Chains A and B, each alone.
Chain A
Amino acid sequence: MAAHATDETLPQGEIAKPNTAWIWKTFFILVGITAVEFVFVFLMEPSTFRNSIFIVLTIMKAFFIVAEFMHLKHETKGLIWTILVPMALLVWLLVALVTEGSYVGEVLQNMFK
């Protein structure tokens, strides 16, 4: 695995060569996605469509941080699912309460009409 130091046995006191290409690659991907987000902020009028673009790009960034930097991609399947499945519940909570928020706002704004 690229993320691991080589398993070759080294002579006593010697240190393996750094293996950092994958780290910088991930870094440039993250910077690139952030730059794309800024392009959309300034070149597009705010809309639900723009917000969905931001959410997709954010999830992409989250994927690279969790999978590569936190190394989750290289863990066992069981650990990956243990972390991801509870996250699905949070997405449900978010969607449910954002919908609820729109409804509450609508009720309050039309209360005295």
Chain B
Amino acid sequence: MAQPTTLQPPAASATQDAPRTGNWDGGNEPFKASYGKLMMWFFLLSDAFTFAAFLTTYGLIRHKHEVFTGAAEKFVFNTRWWPVPDRVFNAFPGLHGVDVPLGFVALMTMILILSSVTMVLAVEAGHRMDKNDVQKWLLWTILFGSTFLLSQAWEWSHFIHGSDNGMVMADGSVFHGANLQMNEYGPVLFADLFFFITGFHGTHVLSGVCLLVWCFIATTNGTFHKRGHYEMIEKIGLYWHFVDLVWVFVFTFFYLV
């Protein structure tokens, strides 16, 4: 005779679909956070490991290369030295040939921080069950998120096509731009890491925008209102802030240091 356990409720029970409430049946919230939010936190922790692996790789490879010690103006792109970031990222859309060191990346950073703010505003509106405000702030977040993606597309395109000067190769020819085998800025791995790290971050932003669009549709349809809470917005919000957080680190280690 099989003993009925708490994990296997009797099949004929009328309360089969009722949530289990026992301490070891999921009826307890040890961290006072719902299952969904807790799992989002753990997912983000694992995602942080992935990005940390990328940035650690970047640190190792960068320290493996020689550091240019002279004045920044004297620096020329060379495979011997790791490039000086404000000499690589100095282009701005519509200002061809003008030297704007880190100007465009400053704008991108502002856009992403702003999108984080509108995301918290959406979560806050969700707490108040204010459907119109949730819709409004989600739309702003989608707008800023998409603008960031487009900016990154421009940045990639510029990085791939390169500057007017390019790098003079050993045989006297000039190479412009970057791909996975060659680039005009410095060691091969510089461009590789740029593509992998900013690309992986951009993919996260793209998934975030897709999730936000889905959230906006569900909000508009009243799904969350009928459910009685807007916790889904909070969970997507956690993900979105994490993407912003990763950018803070990418920004420091790729563009500033």
Contacts and interface: CB of A to CB of B under 8 A. Distances in A.
Interface of A: 3-5, 15-16, 18-20, 23-24, 26-27, 30-31, 34, 37-38, 41-42, 45-46, 51, 54-55, 57-58, 61-62, 65-66, 68-70, 75-76, 78-79, 82-83, 86-87, 90, 93-94, 97-102, 104-105, 108-109
Contacts, number: 137
Given A76-B31, A78-B30, A94-B52, A18 B128 contact: yes
B117 A27 contact: yes
B64 A75 contact: no
Contacts of A58: 248-249, 252
Contacts of A51: 257
Interface of B: 30-33, 38, 41, 45, 48-49, 52, 55-57, 59-66, 72, 84, 86, 101-102, 106, 109-110, 113-114, 116-117, 119-121, 124-125, 127-130, 133, 237-238, 241-242, 244-245, 248-249, 252, 256-257
A68 B60 CA distance: 32
B31 A78 contact: yes
Contacts of A66: 241, 245
B79 to A, nearest CB: 14
A18 B133 contact: yes
Contact of B102 (A4, A15, A41, A83): A41
A65 B244 contact: yes
Given A41-B256, A78-B30, A98-B63, A69 B41 contact: no
Given A65-B116, A69-B116, A90-B49, A97 B56 contact: yes
B52 A104 contact: no
B66 A109 contact: yes
B257 to A, nearest CB: 5
B113 to A, nearest CB: 5
Nearest to B106: A38
Contacts of B72: 45-46
Given A4-B127, A76-B31, A38 B102 contact: yes
Given A34-B106, A38-B102, A101-B61, 4 more contacts: A46-B72, A51-B257, A65-B244, A79-B32
